Amino acid sequence: MRVSDEEQAMRAGAMGEPRRWAIAHQIAVGEFFDAVDFVPVSQAHMMADTESLGDSGVAFLERLAAAPEAERRVQVPTITDPRGIDFAVYKRLGQSEAMAALEARAIAALRAFGVLMTDTCINYQTIMMPVRGEHLAYGDTGVVIYSNSLGGARSNFEGGPSALAAGLTGRTPRYGFHLDECRRPTRRFRVEARPCDLSEWGALGGIIGRACGSYWEVPLIEGIETAPGSDALKHLGTAMASFGSTALFHIPGITAEEAAFAGPPPDLVTIGRGDIDAFVAAYTAAGDKVDVVVFAAPQLSLIEMAAVAGALDGRQVHTDTTVLVATSPEIKHAADRMGLTGRIEASGAVVAAGICFYQSYAREMAEANGWTRLLTNSAKLVNIIGGYGYRPTLASLERCVASAVAGRIV
Amino acid sequence: MPILLRCHKGIGPAVTGTALVAADNFSARYDLDRQKGVFSRPGHKLAGQSFVDRILVLDEAKGGVASAWMLREMMERGVVPKALVFNRVNPILAQGAAFAGLTLVDRFEADVTRAFRTGDELRVDPAAGTVEILNREPPP
Q: Which ipTM value was assigned to this complex?
A: 0.95
Give me the helix-helix angle, A50-65 and A97-112, nearest 10°.
Answer: 40
Residue A260's pLDDT is what?
Answer: 95
Q: What is the mean pLDDT of residues A385-398?
A: 94
CB within 8 Å of A344: residues ≥ 6 apart? A305, A308, A309, A312, A325, A335, A351
Smallest Cβ–Cβ distance between B68 and the set A33, A161, A245 belongs to: A161
User: pLDDT for A51-105, tens place per residue?
Assistant: 889 999 999 999 999 999 999 999 999 999 999 999 999 999 999 999 999 999 9
Angle at A283 between CA A279 and CA A289, to 5 degrees: 155
pLDDT band at A358 (very low <50, low <70, confident <90, very high): confident
Sign of CA dihedral A19, B28, A86, A146: positive
Residue A25 with chain B: CB contacts under 8 Å: 95, 98-99
The predicted pLDDT at position A314 comes to 98
Which residues are CB-neighbours of A310 under 8 A, at least 6 positions away?
A: none
Q: Could you tell me the residue ranges of all domains in chain B? A: 3-133
Dist. CA A195–CA A183, nearest whole Å: 26
Optimal mutation site among A52, A156, A358, A367, interface B, most CBs of chain B within 10 A: A52
Contact status, residue A109 vs residue A65, Cβ threshold 8 Å: yes
pLDDT score, position B64: 77
Q: Which chain A residue shows the shortest CA-CA distance from B66?
A: A52
The helix/strand/coil state of B15 is: strand
Give residue A89's pLDDT.
Answer: 96
Query: What is the C-alpha separation between B52 and B42, in angstroms, rounded?
Result: 18
Predicted confidence at residue B58, as pLDDT, reads: 96
CATH architecture of A5-180: 2-Layer Sandwich (3.30)
User: Any idea which architecture B3-133 has in CATH?
Assistant: 3-Layer(bba) Sandwich (3.50)
User: Is beta strand A292-300 parallel, antiparallel or unpaired with respect to B130-133?
Assistant: unpaired
Note the pLDDT tens digit of each residue in B45-104: 999 999 999 999 999 988 678 888 999 999 999 999 999 999 999 999 999 999 999 999
Write out the H or E segment, with its range, that includes residue A204. Answer: helix A198-212
Chain A residues 251-270 with a CB less than 8 Å from chain B: none
Cβ-nearest to A157 among B40, B73, B91: B91
Percent of chain A with pLDDT over 70: 100
Q: Average the pLDDT over A297-325 and give the result.
A: 98
| pLDDT confidence of residue A227 | 96
pLDDT above 90 for B2: no
Question: DSSP class of residue A86?
Answer: -
Using CA atoms, how far apart are residues A151 and A331, in angstroms rounded to an integer? 21
**Could you give the C-alpha distances from A228 to A203, A240, A384, in angstroms and in order?**
15, 16, 25
Predicted confidence (pLDDT) per residue in A97-127, tens digit: 999 999 999 999 999 999 999 999 999 999 9
How far apart CA B99 and CA B36 sit, in angstroms, is: 22
Min Cα distance B69 → chain A (Å) is 6
Residues A153-175: tens digit of each pLDDT? 999 999 999 999 999 999 999 99
Q: Are B67 and A159 inside 8 Å of each other by CB? A: yes
The minimum CA-CA distance between B72 and chain A, rounded to whole Å, is: 8
Residue B113 three-state SS:
helix
List A326's β-bridge partners, or say none: A352
For A230, residues 6+ apart whose C-beta sits below 8 A from its C-beta are A125, A150, A301
Q: ∠ CA(A406), CA(A407), CA(A408), 5° rounding?
A: 85
Tell me chain B's radius of gyration from C-alpha atoms.
Answer: 14
List all residues of chain A from 63 to 102 with a beta carbon under 8 Å from chain B.
Answer: 81
CA distance A215 to chain B (A): 6
Asked if residue A238 has pLDDT above 70, the reply is: yes
- Please name the member of B8, B11, B60 whose beta carbon is closest to the beta carbon of A214: B60
Residue A389 in this model has a pLDDT that exceeds 90: no
Chain A residue with CA closest to B41: the answer is: A387
CB < 8 Å from B in window 351-410 of A: 358-359, 363, 383-384, 386-389
> Does residue B140 carry a pLDDT above 90?
no
A5-180 and A284-406 share one fold: yes
Quote the pLDDT of residue B30. 81
Pairing, β B3-6 against β A391-394? unpaired
Cβ distance A245 to B40 less than 8 Å, yes or no, reads no
What is the average pLDDT across A273-294?
A: 96
pLDDT tens, position by position, A171-230: 999 999 999 999 999 999 999 999 999 999 999 999 999 999 999 999 999 999 999 999
Question: How many contacts, defined by CB atoms under 8 Å, are there between A and B?
Answer: 135
User: Confidence band (pLDDT; 50, 70, 90) for B29?
Assistant: confident
C-alpha A287/C-alpha A170 separation (Å) is 53
Give CA–CA dist A28/A281, Å, rounded. Answer: 43
Distance, in Å, from the CA atom of A352 to the CA atom of A334, rounded to the nearest integer, reads 13
Q: How far apart are CA A275 and CA A211, in angstroms?
A: 12
Tens-place pLDDT, residues A3-57: 999 999 999 999 999 999 999 999 999 999 999 999 999 999 999 999 889 999 9
Q: By CA distance, what is B93's nearest residue in A?
A: A159
CB contact (8 A) between residue A159 and residue B95: yes
Nearest to A386 among B9, B42, B64 (CB): B42
Contact check, Cβ <8 Å, A159/B68: yes
Domain at A284-406: CATH code: 3.30.499.10
- Selected residues 201-240 of chain A with any CB under 8 Å from a CB in chain B: 213-216
pLDDT at residue number B63: 67
pTM listed for this prediction: 0.96
Q: What percent of chain B has pLDDT over 90?
A: 81
Query: For chain A, what are the domain ranges?
Result: 5-180, 184-280, 284-406
Give the CA count within 13 Å in the CB-facing half-sphere of A181. 2
